[in-house]
């Protein structure tokens, strides 16, 4: 028995639970060490005591004397060997602390038949506390989850902050709570609950002060159980002893901090932290949603605001404003694609805000990468990115580049940078993508408007130009007008070339910088073979619409040029490599498909095939073909009309010539008849007068000699004899003039010059001292003439001029070459002649002198006519007279002279009557 009792004690003393044996009087007969620890009393203090002494008032109510008596009675009546119960009771320890226990009892009979109760006691205070905390946590978590609906329904940040503070206070039980938001490089308190003053606290994120700042920088919750020993603590209210700061994060991006404080040390538990993190996450999502809605609203407002904007620069400025002021980016810039370059066109907060560009053919630049990949490129740490190109600040650490796309066409890039690592997130990407999409549409619309306006102007110009082209009649001028129209439509050197049936260049005109010289394509060194090849099916791959586009960058083009003969390929290469490297040419094809020419154009940079810029050019090519066809038709009609007119003119001329020939023949016939009559008269007079004149001359000569020998020849007789001799010589001259005028002329043609003729004539005439002679003839012109008769002409004219200046004057003789003739002018400053004399000047027997028969000018006229020349006179009474003589340098007739003489005899009376 003793051994059994010792074994019992040995076991229960080592039990993890408290063990007690209670008798029928409810007194403890035995207690193990664990029970003493649970109750806080010693074993001696416990044994012998009513177990109800250690229970709280509420728990003692379960074990009243009546209740215990009832349990014992029931046990006895049912004759149970044992019965068990389980209770959760509250005990009061010796130190007054209340704790919860789990008590399991077994009532049984001992060997003596007495009733005993074995109680197994376990302290479940901590378990119950944990369960209570867990229950509270789960309840609060459930409330927070339900509360998230309210948070997400908040329309603005002010409402959201109020709801968040409500949750922190009413759901989580925090008395002193505040909300901080990240704004650039600062952390600003935006809302609070429990503090006496409104939020004014702003903390720099790059500083060392503020538990909340530490939470932002570490992106982790910070629990400070005793703020007195933390140097970063910033006092917000006197007496605060502990602080818990939880960052509000979306992904890796910290938006702000939920912060709570307490007067108690170590006031915040792990559950507090977890619940506050849940609320912080919900608030961050709500903030993100509100900002997203605000951003979307801002972007939509931006989209609406740029609808009426007509300038790309103004749109870029509005975009920068939206990126900074509404979307919250600090360092922003915009790039636009221009050909093979990506140019910086607008920037904020960057040192290098102009004249910065990147080559799209290379791999340098995050923005270039975004253009090539046609998708956003985010570099969280540019120090690890080889493609990064510095543009401005030295402190940049992260970059986000979003392409400005319209379909698959990239117009440019929206780019943001930050001096923080991992500064951007997916939300930033989405915001910029939406903004870039709006910007792409706006830029495209403005460019389209500008393009349409430009196209409208070009079409308006084209209509006017085509009207002008149609009005130009000269083919070369028309080609020039077509080329200039192409140039005025915005193209570089434009050349219009016309072909013959073998595609050989027959006409060309150029407009543009190379206008002073026709492009090498129009050179004869480019044969029709070259154009046949350039218009052949082999070049169909370069064909679009009615044009051929040869990019110099294409290896096929360069290979082809290498195969063309060197003298052509070098020129062709010069054309393709000049200015912009690319060449556009369009065959001028008629409706029948016949190629009548080609238009070649140097393509300005940035213009690609199928561009709207080609529409006016295509219309111009169409109009050019019509205009050229019309011009050729008009030229043909004009040519036919001219030929018909020429034929009619020739016919009329032939009739006139025939009529004139008949009249001239009649005049010549009449003149011949007169001359024949004069000739007969002259021969008769010369025969009848020369015999007596010879006798008189001989008699006078004889008398003069005889009187001289006899010594009777005095001065008076000598004078009279001289008069007789002089009158005999004058009478003989009249007879010679009459014979010269009336006889047939035969020219002795030799080569001579004006100077020689005039000098000989001047030497044969005695010039009075009061007359000045100005000889302005020269030896330069050689012509064929009868020298003696020419000399006779000028002797007569010189003598007449001398006679016309009895009081002295100036005689001027000039000569010059005029086309295929030599022209003489003999001018005097004499008395001149009236008009009535000029009309009869060339007729014989007309004179203005006191004596003479008037044959001098008539003979001059015959000599001039015999040389197929012309003589005319201009005279003003009192001022002088000018004779103008014109002679062919080479006469048409090999032998000079008149064509015929009339052999028929005619009476002098008949001749005189006709005259």
pLDDT band with cut points at 50, 70 and 90 for residue 537: low
Residue 476 in any domain: the answer is no
Residue 771 in any domain: the answer is yes
Are 195 and 224 found together in one domain? yes
Lowest mean pLDDT among 352-356, 406-410, 616-620, 790-794: 352-356
pLDDT confidence of residue 611: 59
Instruction: Using DSSP bridges, classify how beta strands 771-776 and 809-818 pair: parallel, antiparallel or unpaired.
Output: parallel
Q: What domain range includes position 91?
A: 2-123
Instruction: Choose between 549 and 356: higher pLDDT.
Output: 356
pLDDT confidence of residue 815: 94
pLDDT confidence of residue 89: 92
Q: In this structure, what token pair is assigned to residue 422?
A: 């991992």
Strand partners, 331: 417
Q: What global pTM score does this model have?
A: 0.49
Of 94, 123, 152, the position where a domain reaches its end is 123
Are 845 and 770 found together in one domain? yes
Q: In this structure, what token pair is assigned to residue 131?
A: 């369960």
Are 443 and 529 found together in one domain? no
Lowest mean pLDDT among 119-133, 673-687, 747-761: 673-687
pLDDT digits (tens, 9 = 90+) for 155-187: 888 888 888 888 777 777 788 888 899 887 888
Collapsed DSSP state (helix, strand, coil) of residue 564 = coil
Instruction: Choose between 629 and 117: higher pLDDT.
Output: 117
pLDDT confidence of residue 900: 35
Are 117 and 138 found together in one domain? no
User: Averaging pLDDT over each range in 133-142, 258-267, 412-421, which range is the top one?
Assistant: 258-267
Are 79 and 137 found together in one domain? no
Rounded Cα gap, residues 720 and 733, in angstroms: 20
Residue with tokens 């020349």: 869
Residue 294 in any domain: the answer is no
| Residue 712: Cβ within 10 Å count | 9
pLDDT confidence of residue 702: 75
411, 444 contact by CB (below 8 A) = yes
866, 745 contact by CB (below 8 A) = yes
Q: Which residues of 328-363 are buried (b: 16+ CB within 10 A; e: fewer)?
A: bbebbbbbbbeeeebbbbbbbebeeeeebebebeee
Instruction: Indicate which CATH number applies to the domain containing 559.
Output: 3.30.450
Encode 333-361 in three state secondary structure.
EEEEEECCEEEEEEEECCCCCCCCEEECC
Q: What's the domain count of the chain?
A: 5
pLDDT confidence of residue 904: 31
Of 549, 578, 611, the position where a domain reaches its end is 611
pLDDT confidence of residue 133: 67
Residue 108 in any domain: the answer is yes
Are 113 and 165 found together in one domain? no
Instruction: Choose between 787 and 290: higher pLDDT.
Output: 787
Residue 220 in any domain: the answer is yes
pLDDT band with cut points at 50, 70 and 90 for residue 794: very high
Are 282 and 327 found together in one domain? no
Are 117 and 139 found together in one domain? no
pLDDT digits (tens, 9 = 90+) for 834-845: 888 777 777 665
Encode 511-527 in three state secondary structure.
ECCCCCCCCHHHCCCCC
Residue 443 in any domain: the answer is yes
Instruction: Indicate which CATH number applies to the domain containing 199.
Output: 3.30.450.40
Instruction: Indicate which CATH number applies to the domain containing 802.
Output: 3.30.565.10
pLDDT digits (tens, 9 = 90+) for 100-119: 999 999 888 877 777 888 89
Encode 752-801 in three state secondary structure.
ECHHHHHHHHHHCCCCCCCEEEEEECCCCCCEEEEHHHHHHHHHHHHHHH
Of 123, 139, 171, the position where a domain reaches its end is 123
Separation in Å, CA 22 to CA 183, 377, 629, 792: 70, 80, 133, 187
User: Averaging pLDDT over each range in 277-286, 657-666, 707-716, 758-767, which range is the top one?
Assistant: 758-767
Residue 58 in any domain: the answer is yes
pLDDT digits (tens, 9 = 90+) for 357-366: 888 888 888 8
Are 153 and 115 found together in one domain? no
pLDDT confidence of residue 1: 47
pLDDT confidence of residue 915: 27
Are 266 and 345 found together in one domain? no
Are 497 and 444 found together in one domain? no
pLDDT confidence of residue 332: 83
Rounded Cα gap, residues 93 and 581, in angstroms: 101
Q: Is the dihedral of CA 763, 765, 771, 777 positive or negative?
A: negative
| pLDDT above 60 (res 648) | yes
Are 504 and 412 found together in one domain? no
| pLDDT above 50 (res 573) | no
- Tell me the average pLDDT of the chain: 77
């Amino acid at each position: 028995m003793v051994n059994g009792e010792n074994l019992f004690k040995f076991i229960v003393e080592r039990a993890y639970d408290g063990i007690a044996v209670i008798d029928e009087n409810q007194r403890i007969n035995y207690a193990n060490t664990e029970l003493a620890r649970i109750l806080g009393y010693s074993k001696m203090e416990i044994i012998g005591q009513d177990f109800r002494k250690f229970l709280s008032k509420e728990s003692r109510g379960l074990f009243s004397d009546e209740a215990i008596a009832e349990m014992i009675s029931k046990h006895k009546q049912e004759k149970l060997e044992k019965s068990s119960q389980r209770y959760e009771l509250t005990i009061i320890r010796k130190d007054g602390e209340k704790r919860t226990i789990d008590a399991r009892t077994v009532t049984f009979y001992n060997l003596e038949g007495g009733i005993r109760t074995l109680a197994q006691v376990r302290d479940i205070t901590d378990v119950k506390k944990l369960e209570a905390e867990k229950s509270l946590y789960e309840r609060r978590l459930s409330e927070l989850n339900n509360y998230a609906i309210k948070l997400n329904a908040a329309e603005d940040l002010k409402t959201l902050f109020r709801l968040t503070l409500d949750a922190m206070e009413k759901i989580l039980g925090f008395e002193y709570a505040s909300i901080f938001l990240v704004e650039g490089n600062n952390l600003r308190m935006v809302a609070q609950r429990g503090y006496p003053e409104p939020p004014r606290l702003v903390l720099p994120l790059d500083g060392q002060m503020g538990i909340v700042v530490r939470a932002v920088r570490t992106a982790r919750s910070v629990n400070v159980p005793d703020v007195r020993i933390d140097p970063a603590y910033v006092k917000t209210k006197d007496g605060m002893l502990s602080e818990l700061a939880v960052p509000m994060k979306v992904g890796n991006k910290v938006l702000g901090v939920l912060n709570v404080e307490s007067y108690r040390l170590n006031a915040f538990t792990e559950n507090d932290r977890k619940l506050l993190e849940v609320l912080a996450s919900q608030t961050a999502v709500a903030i993100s949603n509100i900002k997203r809605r605000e951003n979307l609203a801002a972007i939509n407002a931006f989209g609406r605001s740029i609808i009426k904007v007509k300038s790309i620069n103004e749109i870029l400025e509005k975009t920068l404003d939206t990126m900074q002021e509404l979307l919250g980016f600090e360092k922003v810039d915009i790039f636009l694609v221009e050909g093979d370059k990506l140019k910086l066109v607008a920037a904020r907060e960057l040192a290098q805000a102009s004249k910065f560009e990147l080559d799209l053919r290379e791999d340098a630049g995050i923005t270039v990468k975004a253009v090539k990949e046609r998708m956003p490129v985010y570099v969280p740490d540019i120090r690890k990115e080889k493609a990064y190109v510095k543009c401005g600040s030295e402190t940049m650490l992260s970059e986000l580049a979003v392409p400005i796309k319209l379909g698959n066409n990239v117009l440019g890039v929206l780019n943001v940078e930050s001096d923080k690592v991992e500064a951007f997130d997916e939300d930033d990407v989405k915001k910029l993508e939406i903004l870039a999409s709006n910007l792409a549409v706006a830029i495209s619309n403005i460019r389209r408007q500008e393009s349409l306006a430009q196209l409208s102007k070009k079409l308006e110009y084209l209509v006017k130009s085509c009207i002008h082209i149609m009005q130009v009649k000269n083919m070369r001028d028309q080609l020039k007008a077509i080329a200039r129209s192409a140039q005025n439509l915005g193209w570089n050197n434009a050349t219009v070339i016309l072909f013959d049936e073998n595609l050989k260049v027959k006409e060309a005109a150029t407009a543009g910088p190379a206008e002073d010289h026709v492009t090498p394509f129009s050179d004869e060194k480019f044969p029709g073979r070259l154009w046949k090849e350039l218009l052949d099916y082999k070049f169909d791959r370069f064909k679009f619409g009615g044009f051929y586009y040869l990019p110099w960058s294409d290896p096929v083009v360069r290979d082809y040029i290498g195969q063309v003969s060197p003298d052509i390929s070098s020129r062709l290469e010069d054309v393709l490599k000049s200015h912009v490297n690319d060449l556009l040419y369009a065959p001028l094809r008629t409706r029948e498909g016949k190629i009548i020419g080609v238009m070649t154009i140097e393509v300005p940079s940035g213009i690609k095939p199928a561009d709207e810029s080609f529409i006016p050019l295509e219309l111009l090519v169409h109009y050019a073909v019509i205009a050229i066809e019309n011009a050729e038709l008009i030229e043909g009609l004009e040519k036919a009309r001219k030929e018909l007119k020429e034929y009619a003119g020739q016919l009329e001329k032939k009739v006139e010539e025939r009529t004139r020939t008949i009249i001239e023949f009649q005049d010549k016939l009449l003149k011949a008849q007169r001359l024949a009559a004069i000739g007969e008269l002259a021969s008769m007079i010369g025969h009848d007068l020369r015999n007596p004149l010879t006798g008189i001359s001989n008699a006078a000569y004889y008398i003069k000699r005889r009187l001289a020998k006899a010594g009777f020849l005095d001065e008076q007789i000598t004078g009279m004899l001289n008069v007789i001799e002089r009158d005999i010589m004058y009478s003989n001259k009249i007879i010679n003039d009459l014979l010269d005028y009336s006889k047939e002329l035969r020219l002795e043609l030799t080569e001579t010059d004006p100077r020689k003729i005039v000098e000989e004539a001047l030497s044969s005439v005695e010039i009075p001292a009061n007359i000045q002679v100005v000889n302005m003839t020269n030896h330069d012109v050689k012509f064929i003439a009868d020298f003696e008769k020419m000399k006779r002409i000028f002797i007569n004219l010189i003598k007449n001029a001398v006679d016309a200046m009895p009081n002295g004057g100036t005689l001027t003789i000039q000569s010059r070459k005029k086309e295929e003739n030599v022209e003489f002018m003999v001018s005097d400053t004499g008395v001149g002649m009236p008009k009535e004399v000029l009309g009869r000047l060339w007729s014989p027997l007309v004179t203005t002198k006191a004596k003479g028969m008037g044959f001098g000018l008539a003979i001059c006229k015959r000599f001039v006519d015999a040389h197929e020349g012309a003589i005319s006179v201009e005279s003003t009474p009192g001022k002088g007279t000018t004779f103008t003589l014109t002679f062919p340098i080479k006469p048409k007739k090999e032998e000079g002279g008149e064509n015929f003489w009339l052999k028929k005899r005619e009476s002098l009376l008949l001749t005189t009557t006709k005259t």
